[in-house]
Chains A and B, each alone.
Chain A
Amino acid sequence: MLRFFHQLGSPKHFYRIAGRWIPWLAAACAALMLIGLYQGMVVAPPDYQQGDSYRIMFIHVPSAWMSLFIYIVMAVAGAIGLIWHMKLAEVIAISSAPIGASFTFLALVTGSIWGKPMWGAWWVWDARLTSELILLFLYLGVMALYSAVEDKRTAARATAILAIVGVVNIPIIHYSVEWWNTLHQGPTVTKFGAPSIDLRMLIPLLLMAVAFKLFYAMVVLMRARVEVLQRERNAQWVRELVDIS
């Protein structure tokens, strides 16, 4: 086990191991997504208040969860890179940013499309929506900062600090529906006691949430592999890899 983690720290082995995991993650993700979509779009009944429009939930809610989850991964990986100078953590942190940004974008856009028929407005400046929009700007800030600094190790340190400071926004997003009066509905899954959601809706929602997590794991490894190649471009193993390609 210890040897496994030691090897994972070496860029060459990480590149190889990640390459082996990606197809399995892709297969598991695709399977869960197909089952989840079938359960959500065909089996689950219409909502008694929202009709069929609530089916947007099966992508909106997992995307929103991922936007928070990926941000925490990015900040923790950034902190590990900052404290222990672990290159791989830096790579994971910076590879997470564009993926997190895309899920935040997806959560905002699908929320907007859901809001139009339910609230009568594409956008309202309430706490939940505004704090999620700030999250998108944080992701974009991390990406911009990383590409603006020439030396990639310095860039990784700077972006890690920005990411860690931005963590303050995460609890604000999560509790925004409780702290402020808002149009956005409160939590139905994570609240104490039994979730106030029908099982036939909850199961596809959770399936999609796990599928999105696997999707993130897959694409973050894909991005991290490219980032590793870029950083190790002068290493012998990368030269050999290029020669045989």
Chain B
Amino acid sequence: MTLQQFFHMGGYAVYVWSSYAIALVVLVANVVAPILQRRKLFVQLARRQRRERRES
């Protein structure tokens, strides 16, 4: 199989590769979302702890 045949997918390239592209987006989003949430939470908690220290 040549590289061109591989990308051509027997004429179904649009369907096959768009499916794989959407799958990639969904998988990446699932990994990135908790990382961002965690970072946001840490920033938020750090701010709260600094504020508490100032007040005490």
- What residues of chain A have their CB less than 8 Å away from a CB belonging to chain B? 41-42, 46, 51-53, 55-56, 59-60, 63, 98-99, 102-103, 105-106, 109-110, 113-114, 116-117, 215, 218-219, 222-223, 225-226, 229-230, 233, 238-239, 242-243, 245
Contact = CB atoms under 8 A, between A and B. Distances in A.
A215 B19 contact: no
Contacts, number: 89
Contacts of B9: 52-53, 55
Contacts of B12: 51-53, 55, 117
Contacts of B41: 226, 229-230, 233
A41 B6 contact: yes
6 contacts: A53-B10, A53-B16, A105-B26, A117-B15, A233-B41, A245-B46
A46 B34 CA distance: 38
Given A106-B22, A113-B18, 15 more contacts: A51-B11, A52-B10, A52-B12, A55-B9, A98-B30, A105-B26, A109-B19, A109-B22, A113-B15, A114-B15, A114-B19, A230-B41, A238-B45, A242-B46, A243-B46
A56 B10 contact: no
Contacts of B33: 98, 223
Choose among A117, A219, A225, A226 the residue with the greatest number of B CB atoms under 10 Å from its CB.
A226
Contacts of A239: 45, 49
Contact of A46 (B10, B20, B45): B10
Contacts of A226: 34, 37-38, 41
A238 B6 CA distance: 50
Most central of A52, A60, A116 by chain B CB within 10 Å: A52
Contacts of A52: 9-12, 16
A99 B1 CA distance: 36
Contact of B49 (A102, A117, A242): A242
Contact of A106 (B15, B26, B35, B46): B26
A100 to B, nearest CB: 11
Contact of B20 (A51, A59, A102): A59
A241 to B, nearest CB: 8
A103 B26 CA distance: 8
Given A46-B10, A226-B37, A233 B45 contact: yes
Contact of B16 (A55, A230, A233): A55
Contact of B45 (A98, A99, A242): A242
Contacts of B46: 242-243, 245
Contacts of A242: 42, 45-46, 49
A126 B29 CA distance: 30
Nearest to A26: B31
B23 A59 contact: yes
A245 B45 CA distance: 11
A116 B15 contact: yes
